[in-house]
Amino acid sequence: MEHCGQTPTRRELLTGVLRYVTLGALGAVGGSVFAKRRRLVQEGICINHGICRGCEIFKQCGLPLALSEKQVLTIMDDE
């Protein structure tokens, strides 16, 4: 544990550095996965095997399958 007003020990310093390096790596991996999914959709490639229901990007997706699903849902809502 870090002591108030005292210089951290080597172990505390290494633990802190490791913590932030791990957090940074997790953020980088999450960001790259998000960017890859976004790029695939922009290229017209479905990221969820064509299963729009429950797809995390359904609302933003402009692929033909998603547009068709949205049209069906709109028709069903109108009835």
CB of 7 vs ligand SF4, minimal distance in Å: 52
Write down the least CB distance from residue 70 to ligand SF4, Å.
9
Should residue 33 be labelled a site residue for ligand SF4 when binding is judged by CB under 6 A? no
CA separation for the pair 38, 56 (Å, rounded): 11
Q: Which amino acid is residue 29, in one-letter code? A: V
Among 17, 33, 51, 72, binds ligand SF4 (CB under 6 A): 51
Element (H, E) at 71: helix 64-78
- What is the contact surface with ligand SF4 in residues (CB under 6 A)? 41, 46-48, 50-52, 55, 57-58, 61, 63, 65-66
